[in-house]
Chain A
Amino acid sequence: MILPYLAAVLLALATAYSAVVSFRQKPEEGSAEPSWIFPEGAKRPTRIFISIATLLLLVALGAWFSINARNSTPGSMRFLIPEGYSGWVRIEFEVPDATALLEEAGQTVLRIPPSGTLRTSSPEQYGWVNNSYGFYSRAGVRPIPDSGPGKLIWGKINGEASGASGKRKYEEFFVGTQQQFKGQVEGAKSRD
């Protein structure tokens, strides 16, 4: 968290310096030697060096972005929730003794138990992910709408909780109608 303070201090310095440079009297020709603090432009070798360094920096940044973009393919998560379940669903990631998440047809499948809490040793996925939701039962899987008027997925949050076993990343969302979700939220508020 030192970055904002460092940025503010440097900004103050840059403001003061630029103000002095802008408003100070222009020295007459040959009357004063340019000092290191107020130089009269950079020499040719310095300009060439800075131009090459900038070019190299831009090339390195471009390469880094393209490699990152190639490696981080958008993930896709499929949440399977027990049929008829209504309430908060919680997924805890990086739990040491828990099982890893399954991959099916390029999708990460999260099968939520009837308790509503799933613990997994797999890490949380970041970036643009394409999530889908479904109710599972013996009859099969039927999709759950997560947008539009019949939406049943609400209040999705990601967080990090610290406890006796260290920090743990988790994800939560509510399954139910808008009315049920509002009732939950208002109930929680009145308890606080």
Chain B
Amino acid sequence: MLPFILYFVTAVLTGFHLYTLLSFTLYGAPFNLLELVAMLGSFCLLIAAYVSLFSPRTAGQLALIACLAMWCFYGPAIAKIARTRLGKPAAVSQFYRPSVALQSA
């Protein structure tokens, strides 16, 4: 039962997330092919969930392929989020403290 629940819940959640992202294309957002590939991956994972009831090993192989397809989208997305959050903003110009040179008479 564990593989079924794990694959099924993952497929439903990722599928819903990717469906939401893909639906934005209707409102003019640019189409991303990786989203479609990942969506197919989540569909394969759903199939793997049902296969796991009969043959867990075959289901595992199918699920692994499906998950790798999904990482095509989630991998770069997570990397981009991490880079945006952790990256320091670049300085547009460097600040120099003005120094006054005192000349001794």
| Contact surface of A with B, Cβ cutoff 8 Å | 3-4, 6-8, 10-11, 13-15, 17-22, 26, 36-42, 46-47, 50, 54
Given A7-B13, A11-B10, A18-B64, residue A39 in contact with residue B74 (CB < 8 A): no
Given A3-B17, A18-B63, residue A42 in contact with residue B6 (CB < 8 A): no
| Contact surface of B with A, Cβ cutoff 8 Å | 1-4, 6-7, 9-10, 13-14, 16-17, 20, 45, 48, 50, 52-57, 59-61, 63-64, 67-68, 70-71, 74, 77-78
Alpha-carbon distance A39/B54, docked complex (angstroms): 10
Majority DSSP secondary structure for residues of B touching A: helix
Please give, as numbers and ranges, the residues of chain A lying within 8 Å of B74 by CB-CB distance.
7-8, 11
B67 and A7 within 8 A (CB): no
User: 6 closest pairs, A vs B, by CB?
Assistant: A21-B60, A18-B63, A15-B67, A18-B64, A10-B10, A42-B53
Alpha-carbon distance A11/B68, docked complex (angstroms): 9
A41 and B56 within 8 A (CB): yes
Partner of A21, one of B3, B10, B13: B3
